[in-house]
């Protein structure tokens, strides 16, 4: 399949505001310029729905940059869900918990072994584990970072003041952000059964590829998505969506059979290899690219 390269490059994550408290594996900060362009290219959506929210950077950016009125974030992972519930409903309590915590290997191990007493404690635990485990991976089997950033050890990505600043900004926007701990596919089905002209969907599902070899399996506790069904659900609606996937023959064939449009974005992975990612829309949105096989 011939897919054009997007005229908008993937940005270095340092070039856009980091608004999420999570360092999320598969996070889409590099896609933010595409998101801005997409949301500005049509009538301003009232609601942005993110059915596979993860670190939520797209919802946070869309609301904070006033590209939409409101957003709905959906996530099935209970630990990630706890973080969003705490951040959106108990911002000051979560901030207080961060302020009073001294991060050492012992305090992190102790926290990871303890059953959280309430949603603030659960959200706080998610945040600490996310920022101390290698690659931010929360799924079972993830290990703690050993050397850390610049050899600074387990605390090398624990920046309390930065996290507090981000959480305060999220709490300020919380009246415009809803969160739902459920299956994103189900939310899509019920949402698209009603009129949805003023809704935009950002769809970033976990992808394991045929045979389950891709990173999705290792990175997320929930990674079993029926991709063909997801494409059909979108095709049967008239929803304004932007979807992202790793490039693969399986996904190319779904794009072709539903007559969707895709551009390819080259991005740097953590190891500086360039991996092709697809940005898929119903109508051409990023059209002036260069054709590649």
Ligand X SMILES: C[S@@+](CC[C@H](N)C(=O)[O-])C[C@H]1O[C@@H](n2cnc3c(N)ncnc32)[C@H](O)[C@@H]1O
> Which residues contact ligand X (rule: CB under 6 A)?
24, 26-28, 51-52, 54-55, 57, 74-77, 80, 183-185, 204-206, 220, 222-223, 225
Strand partners, 3: 292
Question: Which residue's CB is nearer to ligand X, number 92 or number 212?
Answer: 212
Question: Which residue's CB is nearer to ligand X, number 103 or number 139?
Answer: 139
Strands laid side by side in the 261-268 sheet: 177-180, 70-74, 47-50, 199-203, 240-246, 274-281, 261-268, 3-5, 290-292
Q: How far is the CB of 19 from ligand X (least distance, A)?
A: 11
Question: Which residue's CB is nearer to ligand X, number 181 or number 252?
Answer: 181
Question: Which residue's CB is nearer to ligand X, number 52 or number 158?
Answer: 52
Q: How far is the CB of 262 from ligand X (least distance, A)?
A: 17
Q: How far is the CB of 130 from ligand X (least distance, A)?
A: 11
Question: Which residue's CB is nearer to ligand X, number 150 or number 178?
Answer: 178
Question: Which residue's CB is nearer to ligand X, number 183 or number 250?
Answer: 183
Strand partners, 246: 277
Q: How far is the CB of 80 from ligand X (least distance, A)?
A: 6
Question: Which residue's CB is nearer to ligand X, number 198 or number 226?
Answer: 226
**CB environment 55-74: b (16+ within 10 A), e (fewer):** bbbbbbbbbbeebbebbbbb
Residue whose structure tokens are 């993937």:
10
Q: How far is the CB of 100 from ligand X (least distance, A)?
A: 27
Q: How far is the CB of 28 from ligand X (least distance, A)?
A: 4
Q: How far is the CB of 77 from ligand X (least distance, A)?
A: 4
């Amino acid at each position: 399949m011939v897919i054009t390269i997007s005229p908008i490059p993937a940005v270095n994550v340092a070039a856009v505001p980091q608004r999420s408290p999570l360092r999320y594996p598969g996070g889409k900060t590099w896609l933010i310029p595409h998101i801005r362009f997409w949301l500005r290219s049509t009538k301003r959506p009232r609601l942005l729905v993110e059915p596979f929210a993860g670190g939520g950077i797209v919802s946070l950016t869309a609301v904070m940059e006033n590209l939409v009125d409101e957003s709905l974030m959906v996530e099935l992972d209970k630990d990630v869900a706890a973080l969003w519930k705490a951040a959106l409903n108990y911002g000051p309590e979560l901030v207080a918990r961060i302020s009073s915590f001294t991060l050492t290997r012992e305090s992190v191990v102790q926290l990871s072994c303890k059953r959280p007493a309430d949603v603030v404690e659960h959200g706080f635990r998610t945040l600490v584990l996310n920022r101390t485990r290698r690659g931010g991976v929360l799924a079972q089997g993830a290990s703690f970072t050993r050397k850390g950033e610049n050899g600074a050890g387990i605390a090398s990505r624990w920046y309390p003041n930065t996290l507090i600043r981000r959480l305060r900004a999220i709490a300020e926007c919380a009246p415009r952000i809803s969160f739902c701990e459920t299956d994103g596919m189900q939310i899509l089905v019920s949402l698209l059964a009603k009129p949805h002209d003023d809704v935009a969907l950002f769809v970033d599902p976990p992808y394991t590829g045929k045979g389950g070899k891709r990173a999705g399996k290792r990175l997320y506790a929930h990674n079993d998505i029926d991709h063909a069904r997801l494409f059909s659900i979108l095709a049967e609606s008239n929803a304004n969506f932007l979807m992202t996937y790793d490039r693969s023959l399986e996904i190319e064939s779904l794009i072709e059979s539903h007559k969707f449009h895709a551009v390819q974005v080259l991005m740097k992975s953590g190891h500086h290899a360039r991996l092709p990612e697809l940005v898929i829309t119903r109508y051409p949105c990023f059209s002036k690219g260069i054709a590649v096989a």
